[in-house]
Amino acid sequence: MRLTAVLCGLLLLVSPLAAAAQTSAGLPTDPDAVLVEELVVTAREIGPAWWRVSDGDSIVYVMGAPSVIPKGSGWDASVLERRLEGANVVILPFNNASVNLLTAPGAVVSLLRLRSSTPFEETLEPPLRARFVAARTQAGQAADRYKTRNGMAAALLLVSDYRDAASLTAADPAKTIGRMAAARGIRVEAKTYDAASLLAAVVRTPAAAQQACVMEALAAVEAGPASAEAAARAWAWGRVRDALGGERSYERCIAAAPGAAELDARLKADQTAAIVAALKRPGHSIAVVQLRPLLAQGGVLDRLGALGYEIRTPAED
């Protein structure tokens, strides 16, 4: 079940999962590479950047969150604490996955297809095998940890292990914000997606994309956490453009999974709909959305603007 949890969690936590033109390497280009430039600003207030979406007497304050952050990262929560007072609801990133009774058989079948009796590295040619061994050793894991013949499954698990070893997490700041909201009795809204379809997508990923995914994962491990750490520091100070500068090769890997475009569209549509629902109630609410899907063309703020809602940037508030 560890493999199931890691694959399902990572497929969502490293959102966005968007499709794009395929590169010669077998992977899509950066799924959210094109940003709405007027939204990419430096915050006036101390701490992480907030965008304000309003409709008459209702406001949703939207915090842009990094896709990964060092565990225990400090950031100024004074603006958050002020906005939690009297908030109607706190909407967290929609990135949970679980197996339900109806889809459990399909998830089990996919998991069995992903498993192997031998470690993944034994399927690799010597030079690539040496890199994989070095990477999983850096992550503190033995060969038997990666008993699969599926390159995407092995890559996802490797990066998850590396992130744990490097004290990087995709759960925060949303986990902290959710805890703060619950302590104040504020309703917290999140969304859970079916894990069976995510596992099936990993199984169906073409061999060339699996191989490219392994290369991307190895590059991310070999590069180390410096890029994520720098982006997290920029995020904590409201420097949005620098916060968007983290390494993106792993997201391109995930985008290669079949059905990625549909899932990406669904995630953004669902997050947009949740904010629209909050705007129907007088007063204010809070939403947390990952920076790239928040600020990209076709992203959450772009969709809200197209619906006619007023959007103010962190440079204005």
The model's pLDDT over 115-152, given as tens digits with 9 standing for 90+, comes to: 899 999 999 999 999 999 999 999 999 999 999 999 98
Residues 6+ apart with CB under 8 A from 142: 136
Tell me if 65 is assigned to some domain: yes
Q: Which stretches of 4-145 are assigned E, i.e. beta strand?
A: 50-55, 58-65, 69-70, 89-91, 96-98
Query: Under a CB-based contact definition with an 8 Å cutoff, are residues 221 and 3 in contact?
Result: no
In a domain, 107, yes or no: yes
For residue 152, what are its two tokens?
């995407």
Number of domains in the chain: 1
Instruction: Please list, residue by residue across 55-80, b when 16 or more beta carbons sit within 10 angstroms of its beta carbon and e when fewer do.
Output: beebbbbbbbbbbbbbeebebeeebb
Query: Kind of pairing, strands 89-91 and 69-70?
Result: unpaired
Domain assignment present for 219: yes
Lowest mean pLDDT segment, chosen from 1-5, 64-68, 199-203: 1-5
Specify the DSSP class assigned to residue 3. H
Domain containing residue 215: 2-312
Is 117 a member of any domain? yes
Per the listing, tokens 């940890």 go with 145
176 in Cβ contact with 213 (< 8 Å): no
Q: Enter the pTM of the model.
A: 0.87
Instruction: Report if residue 76 sits inside a domain.
Output: yes
Question: Is 177 domain-assigned?
Answer: yes
Residue 317 falls inside a structural domain: no
Structural domain includes residue 297: yes
Looking at residue 101, its pLDDT comes to 52
CA–CA distances in Å: residue 255 to residues 195, 226, 249, 273: 16, 23, 10, 23
Q: Which residue matches tokens 């092995």? A: 154
pLDDT-based confidence at 311, cuts 50/70/90? very high
Asked if the model's pLDDT at residue 265 lies above 90, the reply is no
